[in-house]
Structure 1
Amino acid sequence: MSTNLPLPQFYAQTLTTLQPIFDDTLSISDPSTQSTLTSALDNSYLIQRMINSLGVFSENESVDEIGEKELVFMSLGWVIGSAEEKGGLGGRDDRISSLQRAETAHSNYLELLNSYGVLTSEEQAESSNAANGQSSISKDPAKKREAKIRQYKREKELREKISNSLPDHPETSSSPITFILSTLPSSSTNRPSVVSMSSGSTSVNNEDAEEASKSTMVDILKLLHTLTISSLSSINMELELLSNAPASISQYVEQDPREVRREEEDNTWRLDRQASSKARPRELISGNGKVLRPFTILPSTQQLSDRERLKGDVFKQSWRLPTMTIDEYLEEEQRRGNIITGGGQASYDAPTATELLELEAENDGSASAEESAEKKRLKDENWARFADENKKGAGNTMNKG
């Protein structure tokens, strides 16, 4: 990307590059996607250094004193943190480093919002707890459910409010990146941004438009704050899991040169080693899952102790067949799309179908609310009918449970 553009257009160009990655239209595991992500991150850090050198933000200012053109650059911390979350696929250590950088960027974003007084006292408490690695949600299931629904409603209200306040905004898109881009000038043309201000006009209409656009940008920052709280919770959980995960054996065991020579000599006559070096796992299984040739699944090398590894090298199998480790088998299955990914904390925190119907039914007077209320009524009625026809314990013939 060229850095000869003005700073707002350069920021818009960087966000345009990140938009398909954030919208999940590109595969994160694709090397080209990771290359694009790395390039966009470099540009984001460059913009951050430029903002710091220009002194755009000051500790002595409030949100009422900062200009609307500068306000949009407060979102840069969230952009960097979210982009770092999608990187670090080179191994455990690389992933930990990427998550730590994401955590730092998100914490800096929350600190910036707090220093400018963008957040309410309740939101400031959430930010403080999230920055310190503490959860603001109670461990009580009922209170946790209420907090989850409250957070979902706040995020939904902010998205709808922002979508209605931005002119010419597509109704089908409520992506935060799209919201930020709507407040920036295009990187290819000279069209003004939505939040641009006429410097020479002092009319009431321009002042009202300026105030409205600034209020919209504050709502976007509050939406990003809500997303940051969830991201920090997921990052802390993943960092805890990675810190307890076993590291690769190769990081602790240095291979003896004599053992390397013996292994090279052993490769000259062992058919399974030669076959596995020439025939990759994808050649053992066809595209539709048919086994093309017999092979042996070996234990994962990450779960073997030194003694088991040495024992396996001495007492080798009597047969000579191509071998495939569990890691290679799982990698091949993932490449063929047979491994379902997802879930985790984000899936656990998402409202259930019944909760979504309750939330949608609360919008009194709308057609969608009436339709949701009717769906919920039919669901409750079907369940009541099922409970009447099937008494509790009727199918428990073994008297268990």
Structure 2
Amino acid sequence: MSDLPLPLFYAQTLRSLLPISDDTLSLSSAEAQSTLSSALDNLYLIQRILTSLGVFSENETAEEVGDGELVFMSAGWVLGGCEEKSGLGGREDRMGALKRAETAYSGFLDLLSSYEVLTPEEKAESSVAAAGRSAISKDPAKKREAKIRQYKREKELREKIASSSRGHPEPSSSPISFLLSLLPSDTNGASTSSTSVNPEESSETSRLTTLLLLRLLHTLTLSSLSSITMELELLASAPASISAISEPDSRDTTRGSEDTTWRLDRQPGTYRPRELISGGGRVLRPFTILPSTQAMSDRERLKGDVFKQSWRLPTMTIDEYLEEEQRRGNIITGGGQASYDAPTDSELLDLAAEDDGTALAEIKGEQKRQKEENWARYTDENKKGAGNTMNRG
């Protein structure tokens, strides 16, 4: 630890976490994991200092804590967040980091509850989270309602924090930025966010903002605990990594200069096959039943059946589809007002026959005469009502 005062040391640690909290630095990078490791060492040291100084005790309330000490209640949340983002070295390493994060988050919730920082509703939610599995986590409807309440509360608290003082970041800023705005940023212990001329007014505003920020961190903690619980369940049920029987010998020259260390398809004899189903009938790891004599074509066929679109892909364009449907007679054309206003065949025949002195008029006139003669012959042979044998009259 440097010779800096505790508030400046805490601010320095938080400032190193800004690239990670703002998502400008990938968690999988070596730089991010190194930053988290260094920050965790500082945070555990800060917690030991707070404990040795007796800054927080069980028989106090938030009104009895000084303005400069109130912000250190957030150390448990920051510690839990760093542990939650670390532990990428493997399954056991990840589970250990998640359990340490769960412990830090639980301690943070207990501290807020004992100092009566939370509202009655928030305190009840903390009790449910501390109890572990509850009816809310099993009922999807109740779980969704709880998430909606937490989201609305988080949005409301962010807006109140941003509007409580002129020097605070935007509502969409990370909680680390909110915390840094409450801590001193220079060697003299002066905070850059303090712009008020009246010291009492500035202290009161800073205290109110700190309490709002602690409530915001409480809401974020509930979401983090829910995610940690689900991830721990997945990791607990996941199969263990394949244990190698023998490491490849670098002195083995039977395969020439080909390096097979990072081959995705393991060669026979380099791993021990694990059981698929336990003695009690429990499936131990995912598997797919394939033909006994499978070739590469079978693998490709299986891959094509699994990794494909869940919908039918189009085989023709829309214009080609419409042309095909029209060819099949599935598209009805005509109709509408234009079809109603268009002249009928009889009317067109009458108009063509009235054009005297032309050959077309004579032809159309003859067609009209034959049509009328055929109609007259039909009416003579078929009297009106002649076919009505079932309902005469």
TM-score under structure 1 length normalisation: 0.62
Q: 1:188 to 1:276 in 2, by over 3 A?
A: farther
Which one-letter code corresponds to 2:12 in the other structure? Q
User: Which structure 2 residues correspond to residues 315-326 of structure 1 after superposition, within 5 A?
Assistant: none
* Matching residue within 218, 224, 231 for 2:224: 231
Q: Number of matched residues?
A: 276
CA distance in 1, matches of 2:258, 2:14: 47
Q: Give the aligned partner of residue 273 of structure 2.
A: 304
Q: Do 1:80 and 1:102's aligned partners in 2 also have CA atoms closer than 8 Å?
A: yes
Identity of aligned residues (%): 60
Q: 1:161 to 1:32 in 2, by over 3 A?
A: same
Which one-letter code corresponds to 1:270 in the other structure? R
User: Which structure 2 residues correspond to residues 75-224 of structure 1 after superposition, within 5 A?
Assistant: 75-135=74-134, 137=136, 139-171=138-170, 173-187=172-186, 190-192=189-191, 194=193, 206-224=199-217
The unaligned stretches of length 5 or more in structure 1 are 199-204, 282-294, 308-401
Secondary structure of 2:111's counterpart equals helix
Q: Give the aligned partner of residue 32 of structure 2.
A: 33
CA distance in 1, matches of 2:79, 2:70: 16
Q: Do 1:12 and 1:187's aligned partners in 2 also have CA atoms closer than 8 Å?
A: no
What is the CA deviation profile of residues 18-68 of structure 1, one whole-angstrom value per residue up to 9, with x for unaligned ones?
Answer: 111111110111112111110011011111111111111111110111111
What is the CA deviation profile of residues 293-327 of structure 1, one whole-angstrom value per residue up to 9, with x for unaligned ones?
Answer: xx96779x8893289xxxxxxxxxxxxxxxxxxxx
Q: Do 2:77 and 2:221's aligned partners in 1 also have CA atoms closer than 8 Å?
A: yes
Which one-letter code corresponds to 2:226 in the other structure? S
User: Which structure 2 residues correspond to residues 360-399 of structure 1 after superposition, within 5 A?
Assistant: none
Q: Give the aligned partner of residue 12 of structure 1.
A: 11
Q: 1:139 to 1:197 in 2, by over 3 A?
A: same
Q: 1:298 to 1:189 in 2, by over 3 A?
A: farther
CA distance in 1, matches of 2:169, 2:272: 51
1:152 deviation in Å?
A: 0.8
Q: Give the aligned partner of residue 201 of structure 1.
A: none
CA distance in 1, matches of 2:265, 2:104: 46
Q: Give the aligned partner of residue 255 of structure 2.
A: 270
Secondary structure of 2:167's counterpart equals coil
CA distance in 1, matches of 2:255, 2:82: 46
CA distance in 2, matches of 1:195, 1:27: 32
Q: 1:118 to 1:197 in 2, by over 3 A?
A: farther
Q: 1:121 to 1:170 in 2, by over 3 A?
A: closer
Q: 1:247 to 1:297 in 2, by over 3 A?
A: closer
Q: Aligned-residue CA RMSD in angstroms?
A: 3.1
1:78 deviation in Å?
A: 0.2
Q: 1:141 to 1:190 in 2, by over 3 A?
A: closer
Which one-letter code corresponds to 2:231 in the other structure? E
Q: Give the aligned partner of residue 70 of structure 2.
A: 71
Q: Do 1:84 and 1:101's aligned partners in 2 also have CA atoms closer than 8 Å?
A: yes
Q: Do 2:165 and 2:205's aligned partners in 1 also have CA atoms closer than 8 Å?
A: no
Secondary structure of 1:37's counterpart equals helix
TM-score under structure 2 length normalisation: 0.63
Q: Give the aligned partner of residue 242 of structure 1.
A: 235
1:189 deviation in Å?
A: 6.0
Which one-letter code corresponds to 1:123 in the other structure? E
Q: 1:172 to 1:144 in 2, by over 3 A?
A: closer
CA distance in 2, matches of 1:138, 1:264: 50
Q: Give the aligned partner of residue 310 of structure 1.
A: none
Q: 1:303 to 1:121 in 2, by over 3 A?
A: farther
Looking at CA atoms only, which structure, 1 or 2, has the larger radius of gyration? 2
Q: Give the aligned partner of residue 290 of structure 2.
A: none
